[in-house]
Structure 1
Amino acid sequence: MHVLIVGGGGFIGRHIAGRLVAEGVRVTTAGRVPARLERLIPGASALTCDLSRDTVEAWRGRLAGVDAVINCAGLFGDARGYPLVHAFGPAALFDACRLAGVNRVVQVSALGAHPEAASAYHRSKGAADDHLAALDPTGSNMGWVVLRPSLVIGRGGRSSALFAALAALPVTPHLGRAGGLVQPIHIDDLIEVVVRLLHAPLPLAERLDIVGPEPMTTDALTACFRQWLGLPSAWRVTVPPMVLAAIARFGAGPVTREGMGMLAAGNTAPFAPLVAATGYLPAPLDRALARRPASEADLQAARFVSVAPILRLMLALVWLAGGIVPLVLTPEATSAAWLTRVGLIGIPATTALWAGSLADIAIGLALLTAMRGAALAGIGLMAVYTLILAGMAPELWADPFGALVKNAAVLGLSLAVHTLETRRG
């Protein structure tokens, strides 16, 4: 069997591809950067695609010899991209599959997807689902299945990162009305469902809600992750709605406004139809997590999620203060005396003061807006400042206030923030 996975670089796509490659299935992944896909998924080939642009004709040439197509592509938090990547792009792909004689198509959608849904995310997913279901299979023998998962839990998943981070806090946050019932399923169980459907006899025309056996509150889900991380129970604190809204609005945590809206709406469905259709019984979440015990690295990663935005904010404040204080608060005579020590007086001194201050402010603003490379630029500028001062005023190394020594701490903070900015290319 030759399986093409669109969106193979995402959380679900990577896990499906890894399982199929391990079973000896020929796998091709498709995405915007095929070289990255080949690094992520050893043993799978890759090709270039762009769901936001590719036409039916563009897809037909890529589908020669393909037996099954799994569409795992998706965006989150980019409403402007939803119509193209979730609806029009997949529709072109599905049309091409029918024309190319692909035997079966698996569309990974989302629980609650419907063209009339409240969220733009679910509306766009629902449009693609309906398009696939409406294709006339006469003469093509193409089977199809739409999978609508609830929260998918597993290492590398967005939902897992969120609830592991909440579980790792010193106190357990209670989301109140912001958290409805959810019905999580582990990624391993989702993959098993996909594999069974790839081998299911045709004809195949099915919409399946992919859920775990137990609806649970977000508090219970957080407690489940806390148990998995090996942490004792903690005090529970209700998070005011205004605080949650601020965190989601300003990106000061691992959650977005759209994600909070979905949690508040709830995410459950009957469990029996999935078992009846596949003959497979997904495990309750606590047992599913226990299959892959948490390591010390999992605990550290969970704790770091909530700290990461604070690190960026603190570093940004350091740079903003370094630029604003000399221009606004420092007496002109004091600034002139410092610049004289490094050999600058008059217009060159004023120019250097303004240039340095504006550069500091620019780096601070770049950090606040999460501009890529901002921390690295700060490291370079700080190195320049340190070399100049060390050469012109070496006595600053012995300054009781640590005028130069403190740069080592800022360097460490900058390296940590830069590490957060770095992504696999």
Structure 2
Amino acid sequence: MRVLLTGAAGFIGSAVAARLRADGHQVVGVTRRPGAAAWRAPASDWIALDIGRAVRPDDWRPHLEGVDAVVNCAGVLQDGGADSTMAVHRQGPAALFAACEAAGVRRVIQISALGAAPDAATAFQRTKGQGDADLMARNLDWIVLRPSVVVGRAAYGGSALFRALAALPVRPRVAGAGLLQIVQLDDLAQTVAILLRPGAPDRIVLDVAGPEALAFDTVIGAYRRWLGFPSAATIPAGPLLPALFRLGDLAGWLGWRPPVRTTALRELGVGSTAQIEAWTAATGIRPTPLADALESEPASVQERWFANLYLTKAATVAILALFWIATGLITLGPAWTRGVEQLAAAGAGPLSAPLALGGGIADILIGIGIAVRATSRAALWSALGLSAAYLATGTVLAPHLWTEPLGPLTKIVPVMMLTAVALAILEDR
């Protein structure tokens, strides 16, 4: 079959795409930026299309020619930055479903979420539920899959957060967290593959979840054992946790997609459990317990690196952004006179004030650029370049700064190394 797959470069979509290709299907991947995806998976065809902006059936019709089925894996956790839950979960999919109906593409599989309903408490579940309702109202051979928390070999979202929390020196206890029936990504991808086969059931809604309901602490403990970290004391998270999740909301509005956001906190309080008999009866799948899935693929040193680095990534980006903004403000504020005098003493002459002004503004712009996800990579490279320029200029014009007690030039080197680390771990998935 030729299968149009939205969200094909995402955590779930990429696994579904790989499974479908292994089964002999031709995958047409839909993603906002197909360049890197096409390089990693050249066996798929790729379309540059943003489901949150493709809100008219005409946006989809040209891409449905020759398509036998559609699988919608697109999703965002929360509104913020360029992400809109309403656009990604309802408006774009509704246009796609209408185009499928008009083009005669009968089989449509929707990856929704456990608890999705038009009147749900969070915008994530509410808009997912509205998208499901739009699909079910169509004259199509539709299937709605509502997975629980999905984890797999790849680490993104919840699966990344579990690993990161497991790497902390203490285990945070989240008061009031509900039980989780964690489902393996391979089981979800296999479900999609089975339901694309001829004769598979349709016009059904299936909850997709793991075989056991686990406490949040138990999940973190399982990942800690898998990673090989020793046991640790458990402490109550207290009021620190909501504050961290609100900082995650701020990062979301700057274009980042951290799993630590208030939607995730609300979902965590509700839990994620389901009756899975209908799913197993329709597919024959026996879901894999978390411990078995972890044991089947022992953690490598790379997994431990990732777990240790995951939470420090946010701190690294934040520190670098604040560092550059602060240096710019200090240059333009309390250190202005001294800075101009130092430049003049180094031989800058009448250019001393313009150079100080330009340097201060450049520092502030770099800091803002690092904080915004869309410009972070370019800003980090700019930070490296400007740091090298400061280092070279200072060495030539004021070499005595290397031997100053506070080491103003010496400290540029570790800043450059931290910037290089940020560049190395910048990608989300």
Report the TM-score when normalising by structure 2.
0.89
- One of 186, 191, 194 as aligned partner of 1:193: 191
- Which residue is 2:208 aligned to? 210
Distance in 1 between the 2:147 and 2:217 partners? 20
- Which residue is 1:224 aligned to? 222
- Which residue is 1:343 aligned to? 347
- Which residue is 1:166 aligned to? 165
- Which residue is 2:77 aligned to? 76
Alignment of 1:332-411 (within 5 A): 332=337, 334-335=338-339, 337-345=341-349, 348-369=351-372, 371-372=375-376, 373-411=378-416
**Residue 9 of structure 1 contacts residue 40 of structure 1 at CA under 8 Å; is this kept in 2?**
no
Residue 315 of structure 2 is aligned to residue 310 of structure 1: yes
Alignment of 1:25-424 (within 5 A): 25-51=25-51, 52-78=53-79, 81-136=84-139, 142-154=140-152, 155-177=154-176, 179-199=177-197, 201-202=199-200, 204-240=202-238, 242-251=239-248, 254-326=259-331, 329-330=334-335, 332=337, 334-335=338-339, 337-345=341-349, 348-369=351-372, 371-372=375-376, 373-421=378-426
**Residue 14 of structure 1 contacts residue 41 of structure 1 at CA under 8 Å; is this kept in 2?**
no
- Which residue is 1:139 aligned to? none
Deviations 1:65-89 (A, max 9, x none): 2222111111222267222221122
CA RMSD, Structure 1 to Structure 2 (Å): 2.4
Q: CA deviation at 1:26?
A: 1.7
User: Structure 1 residues 31, 363: closer, same or farther in 2, change over 3 A?
Assistant: closer
Distance in 2 between the 1:343 and 1:170 partners? 51
Task: Mark the structure with the bigger radius of gyration.
Answer: 1
- Which residue is 1:6 aligned to? 6
Distance in 2 between the 1:86 and 1:342 partners? 59
**Residue 254 of structure 1 contacts residue 306 of structure 1 at CA under 8 Å; is this kept in 2?**
no
Distance in 1 between the 2:413 and 2:207 partners? 53
Q: CA deviation at 1:368?
A: 4.5
Deviations 1:270-289 (A, max 9, x none): 12222122111111111122
**Residue 196 of structure 1 contacts residue 278 of structure 1 at CA under 8 Å; is this kept in 2?**
yes
Structure 2 letter corresponding to 1:243: L
Moved more, 396-405 or 231-240: 396-405
Deviations 1:73-126 (A, max 9, x none): 112222672222211221221222233222411100011111111111111111
User: Structure 1 residues 358, 64: closer, same or farther in 2, change over 3 A?
Assistant: closer
User: Structure 1 residues 338, 363: closer, same or farther in 2, change over 3 A?
Assistant: same
User: Structure 1 residues 268, 412: closer, same or farther in 2, change over 3 A?
Assistant: same
**Residue 152 of structure 1 contacts residue 159 of structure 1 at CA under 8 Å; is this kept in 2?**
yes
Taking only the aligned residue pairs, the percentage that are identical comes to 39
Moved more, 23-32 or 296-305: 23-32
Structure 2 letter corresponding to 1:107: Q
Q: Secondary structure at the match of 2:188?
A: helix
Q: CA deviation at 1:149?
A: 0.4
Moved more, 305-314 or 69-78: 305-314
Q: Secondary structure at the match of 2:63?
A: coil
**Residue 15 of structure 1 contacts residue 187 of structure 1 at CA under 8 Å; is this kept in 2?**
yes
Structure 2 letter corresponding to 1:49: L
Structure 1 letter corresponding to 2:158: S
Q: CA deviation at 1:259?
A: 1.2
Structure 2 letter corresponding to 1:216: L
Moved more, 50-59 or 64-73: 50-59
Give ranges in structure 1 of 5+ residues lacking alignment: 137-141
Q: CA deviation at 1:4?
A: 1.6
Report the TM-score when normalising by structure 1.
0.90
Distance in 2 between the 1:92 and 1:316 partners? 39
Distance in 1 between the 2:259 and 2:57 partners? 37
User: Structure 1 residues 389, 36: closer, same or farther in 2, change over 3 A?
Assistant: closer
User: Structure 1 residues 132, 388: closer, same or farther in 2, change over 3 A?
Assistant: same
